[in-house]
Structure 1
């Protein structure tokens, strides 16, 4: 099967790391939704990254749906989300905040990189920035209060939050300042040093 998309996307990268962690064999095809739009559109006319082409040709898209598909097939002891309701709720709380941070960070990046500067809507940027920092603040509190994520066997909440942090530091370090979120930064630093994460560098 083929995973389509660039690893500088936090959504593509979280899928790649998660599939590897689940023991799923796949080929990565690094197509961009911008510079290789036409080539991407021949695989998926929607041109949405990540896209995953299964062995039978079925096309999946959206990072969470792709991961859910393989999570549903994995053994109980290999799953990336806990099965007990309270533990699951806690993991989903972290995961939801990490995905919200990714979404708001991408919105800010697109606003600055795709819209002419004279047409920037500053109230919108301010609002999205506030949402981004609120998500990071909540993640900082949660990560500071919990046991460190296993580097050898990270769960889905740990993977996605680390990927989100690295993306924000790559694209918006002046907005999400590392010194303001020490637990969040340390969480990502530990996972980025693992062989699992090193196999899928974002740059």
Structure 2
């Protein structure tokens, strides 16, 4: 099977790392939805990253759906099975995905759109939502020891999602804002995750 998409997307990277953690062999094709639009369109006409092409040609999109399918192949989940722990992991994943979404929205609104076309109240709203997600996750991570992970001895889906989201956030420079919330626990947590072999195998491009 093939995973299509650039690793500068936190969604593509989250998927690649998860597939590696699940022990699923795949080929990664680093195609841009912008520069490689025509090639990507030939694979998946909706040009959505990540795209997973199965061996029979079936196309799957959306990182969460791809990971869900991958877990059915292996019979192993990167989420806890017990309801209370699973709910907590899903809450954290949701916050991480919100942070990804808001970071992407900020990039398109501020870095891609001309200054005269930007809507300042919308930019402020994006940042307020982004900061709220990080502050909630920072509070959670302050309770985790320096050697532990959120749901066990090995990184689970919450760990992967949070770390890839924070690395992406740092990559676009939003952590350098004068009014950015201080998140030392998140910074240390993501730095430790990035030293893992599955993270090093798929570095942010």
TM-score, with structure 2 as normaliser: 0.93
Give the equivalent residue in structure 2 for 1:200. Answer: 202
User: What SS does the aligned partner of 2:49 have?
Assistant: coil
The CA deviation at 1:153 is 2.5
Give the equivalent residue in structure 2 for 1:35. Answer: 35
The CA deviation at 1:178 is 8.1
Matches of 1:49 and 1:176, distance apart in 2 = 32
Give the equivalent residue in structure 1 for 2:160. Answer: 159
The CA deviation at 1:117 is 1.5
Q: Do the aligned residues in 2 keep the contact of 1:51 with 1:61 (CA within 8 Å)?
A: yes
* Superposition pairs of residues 105-116 of structure 1, within 5 angstroms: 105-116=103-114
Give the equivalent residue in structure 2 for 1:117. Answer: 115
User: What SS does the aligned partner of 2:23 have?
Assistant: coil
Matches of 2:153 and 2:31, distance apart in 1 = 29
**Cα 1:47–1:175, aligned 2, differ >3 Å: closer, same or farther?**
farther
Q: Do the aligned residues in 2 keep the contact of 1:152 with 1:194 (CA within 8 Å)?
A: no
Give the equivalent residue in structure 2 for 1:188. Answer: 190
Q: Do the aligned residues in 1 keep the contact of 2:12 with 2:63 (CA within 8 Å)?
A: yes
* Superposition pairs of residues 129-168 of structure 1, within 5 angstroms: 129-147=127-145, 148-149=148-149, 153-168=154-169
Give the equivalent residue in structure 2 for 1:7. Answer: 7
Give the equivalent residue in structure 1 for 2:81. Answer: 83
Give the equivalent residue in structure 1 for 2:73. Answer: 73
Q: After TM superposition, what 4+ stretches of structure 1 lie above 2 angstroms from structure 2?
A: 72-75, 150-153, 172-179
Q: Do the aligned residues in 2 keep the contact of 1:4 with 1:49 (CA within 8 Å)?
A: yes
Q: Do the aligned residues in 1 keep the contact of 2:131 with 2:180 (CA within 8 Å)?
A: no
The CA deviation at 1:175 is 3.7
Matches of 2:178 and 2:23, distance apart in 1 = 33
The CA deviation at 1:152 is 7.1
Matches of 1:38 and 1:173, distance apart in 2 = 34
Matches of 2:106 and 2:193, distance apart in 1 = 25
The CA deviation at 1:14 is 0.3
Any stretches of 5+ residues in structure 1 without a counterpart? none
Matches of 1:22 and 1:174, distance apart in 2 = 34
**C-alpha RMSD over aligned residues:** 1.8
Matches of 1:161 and 1:124, distance apart in 2 = 24
| Alpha-carbon displacement from aligned partner over 1:166-200 (angstroms, at most 9, x marks no partner) | 00000123249887001111110111011111000
Any stretches of 5+ residues in structure 2 without a counterpart? none
| Alpha-carbon displacement from aligned partner over 1:130-176 (angstroms, at most 9, x marks no partner) | 00000000000111123531897210000010000000000123249
